[in-house]
Amino acid sequence: METYPSELLLIAFIAMLAPLITELPKGFRLPVVVLEVFLGILIGPHVFNLSGPTGFIGLLGDLGLTFLLFMVGLEIDFEKIHGRPFSLAIGGWLVSLSVAMICMLFFNGIGLIQTPPLLAAVALSTTALGILAPILRDRGLLDTDFGTHLIAAAAVGEFGPLVVISMVLIPTHSTIVHTLFMVTFMIIALIAAYAALNMRSTRFISILTKTMQSSGQLPVRICILVQILFVALAAKFGLNIVIGAFTAGIVVGLAIKGEGGDMLRHKLDAIGYGFLIPIFFIVAGMRFEISALWSVPLAPLQVMLLSGLLVLIRGLPVFFYRKVLVPEDQLSFAFYSATGLPLIVIISEIGVSSGLMPADRAAILVSAGMVSILLFPILAIKLRGKAILPW
């Protein structure tokens, strides 16, 4: 434990420094999550080696990831995204997955990108909702039509790959048993969601509100319990824990929807965005192996190609949005949708641990995901309202 205080002090300083830096420029401001990842790279073992993403620090990073997906699920407003935004999102993601599979079969066949096609296709069809949500929130876009359609697309781009990797890539039991576990988890989630909806019409919320200012902080503790419960259930059923955290956020969000839940949301925001979530982004930067960019002769070309494929694969469905988004927003929408990292890291780790993907190939795939979160949100912000697509 002797080294932890100094490492935690450094991470706490970075977490404080990142939002401070974003306030300095008078013109263009970088997204705070981009700065957190970049500063994490600098202090990590692959640059200045001031801290490592292992042990207690790694555990805090994992907690930050689960809390991030919990907060993402909490912020999804199904009353807003249901209907056309949701149907467009599903259709767009299916197109992305199909195009990704075709591209990876082609590039794997010619030997340019030698990774398992299914693994790479699922990774390239993801959208980092957990990264986009804070950016959209900071820029006041969550409640706009642009933000609604983007959140729907990102939610499907996060949840769809999660289902695929849970059903196909990481079964810990036979296919029948794993399917039964998946169905059981979904049934439990639906029952919890139904209970959460009914809870809003009872006196339970008002009772919890009375304890909000006490030292017990009962509503906050219940939310943390629900999150841990669903994460534990997901792990027990052989699913990815990210599904559990995301589902817990949806359930809690349904229960506290409305003015009565605003104070509880603020408290959860403080825990998440003030403490755990910045640690996840910093640790993600620390884990980035920058040496992968020159690990093999074709590595830079492969990273550039995969980054371009992210834009193509997740940006192509923007064609479906030409009637709901103004032309000036469509290219920005494409770059936002192509932003991905957390699931790319998870899928890469699954590939390496299962022996399906060599470590150097996984590092190149993660490098492309890192490029996407460092570059694409910045491009999306600068292009929004400026670029006009030909259609």
Position 283, amino acid: V
Q: What is the DSSP letter of 321?
A: G
**Alpha carbon distances (Å) from 286 to 32, 54, 58, 84, 276:** 16, 10, 10, 39, 15
**Alpha carbon distances (Å) from 382 to 17, 25, 90, 132:** 23, 15, 27, 15
User: What is the C-alpha separation between 97 and 124, in angstroms, rounded?
Assistant: 8
Q: Give this prediction's pTM.
A: 0.81
Residue 203, C-beta contacts closer than 8 angstroms, at least 6 positions apart:
none
Residue-by-residue pLDDT tens, the chain, 391 positions: 455 568 899 999 999 999 998 877 665 667 788 888 889 989 999 889 998 888 889 899 889 988 988 988 887 777 777 888 899 999 999 999 999 999 999 988 887 777 788 888 999 999 988 788 888 888 888 888 899 999 999 989 988 887 787 666 555 555 677 678 778 888 888 898 888 877 765 566 666 667 777 777 888 999 999 999 999 998 888 777 888 898 999 899 888 876 667 788 888 999 999 999 999 889 888 887 777 667 677 888 888 999 999 999 999 999 999 888 888 889 999 999 999 877 787 788 777 767 777 777 888 888 888 889 889 988 998 887 554 444 4
349 burial (CB, 10 Å; 0-12 / 13-18 / 19+) is middle
User: What is the C-alpha separation between 39 and 35, in angstroms, rounded?
Assistant: 6
User: What is the C-alpha separation between 349 and 357, in angstroms, rounded?
Assistant: 9
Number of H-type helices and E-type strands within the chain: 18, 0
Please give the torsion angle defined by the CA atoms of residues 304, 307, 308 and 310, in that order, rounded to the nearest 10 degrees: 160
